[in-house]
Amino acid sequence: MSRNRTDKVNSLLEQEISQIMVRDFAALGEPRPSKDGRDFHGTIITLTKVETTPNLIEAKGYISVLPEEKTDQVIKILNGQVYDIQQQINKKLNMRPIPRIRFVKDTQIASAAKIEGILATLKKEEK
């Protein structure tokens, strides 16, 4: 499989999953608790990237959540709804195979924030 095709599939899936998340999961961040009592008021959920395997069988959607304490809950919900997301993608996209999606925590964002914090501290100490 060409790397170029994998990159195009990654981009296409990222775009489609983001649209689905905005349309169907925006209620997670609303001020009222969800039906099962989870409160995600003030939560920002971001799909940072999608990585598809070269054979196009599986794809990982990397999720960043602020505040970070709610990351595991949000990923659990998204993975619980992955069948519905997959069905919407199957209807929308005209390609086969469509990779099986799994959501995972994006750790790069947290690492970058930690490094920026250290750099800011060093800059203050330097003055």
User: What pLDDT does residue 41 have?
Assistant: 65
Q: The pTM is what?
A: 0.75
Domain ranges for the chain: 3-126
**DSSP notation for the chain:** --HHHHHHHHHHHHHHHHHHHHHHSGGGGSSS--TTS---TT-EEEEEEEEE-TTSSEEEEEEEEESGGGHHHHHHHHHHTHHHHHHHHHHH---SSPPEEEEEE-HHHHHHHHHHHHHHHHHHHH-
User: What pLDDT does residue 33 have?
Assistant: 46
CATH class name, domain 3-126:
alpha beta
User: What pLDDT does residue 68 have?
Assistant: 81
Per-residue pLDDT of the chain (127 residues; tens, 9 = 90+): 467 888 999 999 999 999 988 887 665 555 444 444 455 667 788 889 999 999 989 999 999 888 888 888 888 988 988 999 999 998 888 888 889 999 999 888 767 777 888 888 888 887 7
Task: Extract the tokens encoding 102.
Answer: 């799994």
User: What pLDDT does residue 2 have?
Assistant: 61
User: What pLDDT does residue 38 have?
Assistant: 53
